Amino acid sequence: MTFVPGAAALFILGMVAIGLLRALRGPRDADRLLSVQLLGTGAIAALLLYGVPSGDASAIDVALTLALLAAFASIAFVKAAGGYDDEPS
Partner 1 sequence: MDAVVDFMSIVAIVAGAAFFAAGTIGLLRFPDTMTRLHALTKADNLGVGLVILGLLPRAGSITAGIKLLLVWLLVLFAGAIVSQLVGRVASREPPR
Partner 2 sequence: MIDALNAGIALLLLALGAYAVMAKDVFAALVGYIAYGLLLTLAWMQLRGPDVALTEAAIGGGLTGAMLIAAATRLRDRDAAARAPMPGIGARVLAATLSAVVASAVAWSVASLPEPAATLAPQTLAAMPALEVGNPVTAVLLGFRALDTLLEAIVVVLALIGVWSLAPDKAWGGRLGRLQHAQPDGMLAYAARILAPIGIVIGMYIFWIGADLPGGKFQGATLLAAMWLLVWMAGLTDAPAVDRRWLRAMLVAGPLAFVAIGVFGAVQAGAFLAYPAGLAKPLIIVIEIALMPTLTLVLALVLVGPPLREPER
Residues that bind partner 2 (CB under 8 A): 3, 6-7, 9-10, 13-14, 17, 20, 23-24, 29, 32-33, 35-36, 39-40, 43, 46-47, 50-51, 56-59, 61-62, 64-66, 68-73, 75-77, 79-81, 84-89
Please say whether the dihedral angle defined by the alpha carbons of residues 56, 57, 59 and 62, taken in this order, is positive or negative.
negative
- Binding partner of residue 32 among partner 1, partner 2, none, CB cut-off 5 to 8 Å per kind: partner 2
Distance in Å, CB of 23 to partner 1, minimum: 10
Going 40 to 46 to 48 to 54, the CA torsion angle's sign is: negative
Q: Do residues 47 and 10 touch, judged by C-beta distance below 8 A?
A: no
